[in-house]
Amino acid sequence: MTVQASAGPSPERAWWLRTLLVLQSPTAVFAALRNVDEDDLSARAEPLTAVVFLAATAAVLWTPTVGRLLDDPAIDGVVVPVLVIFAAGIYALFGYFLLGYALYLGARPFGSLGSYRRARQVFGFALAPLAVSLVLWPVRLALYGSDSFRSGGSDSPTGDHVFGALQTFFAVWSLALLVVGTRAVHGWSWPRAAGGVALAAATFAAFALVLSVL
């Protein structure tokens, strides 16, 4: 009897595995984004959505507004997660498309021929460290409880400084992954990739400035 060789993992499973590996072997993961097969493109959707939403949740939790939610007596602890999830959905939607577009535009002057879709995906997977930073919140809540959502609570100022520094570390890690990803998908040098990301950041800053004065 002939035993057929086991087929490799499905595209969906392969991309879930790559999502877990992006922190360890980012170059290989980002290089895989060069594949333009429709099945492979579709397989990225679920893990990419998960990473972007978790990263957006982390970003929302560290905003000053969330840190003062319970200063308002009309808001109780049950409402806080609802507000955070709602805001995270908005952050994820607009952040993914706007910042992905900024990356797309920033890379063009450096010779990028890649699509807007691929730029969004590079940006999305680069958010993996920010998504992982959510692990800080169970620790913070265990230490400070609801004071995490009050100004002047037991977590201030030392707790804010410590956790803020850790959150900054994860944010910088994501930025570094964005450079790694840009370099990997285009096959560029480090200076060229860093230049594309820097121009993308400047482009987004210009977007934000225009929106702020409208």
Cα–Cα distance for residue pair 210/55, rounded to 1 Å: 25
3-state SS, 139-154, equals HHHHHHHHHHHCCCCC
- pLDDT by residue (tens digit) across 60-110? 999 999 989 999 999 988 999 999 999 999 999 999 999 999 999 999 999
Q: pLDDT at position 156, please?
A: 63
- pLDDT by residue (tens digit) across 143-177? 989 989 988 766 667 777 889 999 999 999 999 99
Nearest of 205, 209, 184, 207 to residue 119 by alpha carbon: 184
For residues 3 and 102, which has the higher predicted lDDT (pLDDT)? 102
Nearest of 213, 188, 88 to residue 199 by alpha carbon: 188
Q: pLDDT at position 4, please?
A: 47
Q: pLDDT at position 36, please?
A: 92
Q: pLDDT at position 158, please?
A: 74
Percent of the chain scoring above 70 in pLDDT: 94
Q: pLDDT at position 208, please?
A: 84
Query: 112: Cβ–Cβ under 8 A, 6 or more apart, which residues?
Result: 104, 119, 186, 196
φ/ψ (deg, to 5) at 145: 60, -140
Average pLDDT over every residue of 182-207: 95
Average pLDDT over every residue of 29-50: 95
Q: How far apart are the first and last CA of the chain?
A: 73
Cα–Cα distance for residue pair 15/84, rounded to 1 Å: 27
Q: Enter the pTM of the model.
A: 0.92
Q: How confident is the prediction for the chain on average, in pLDDT?
A: 92
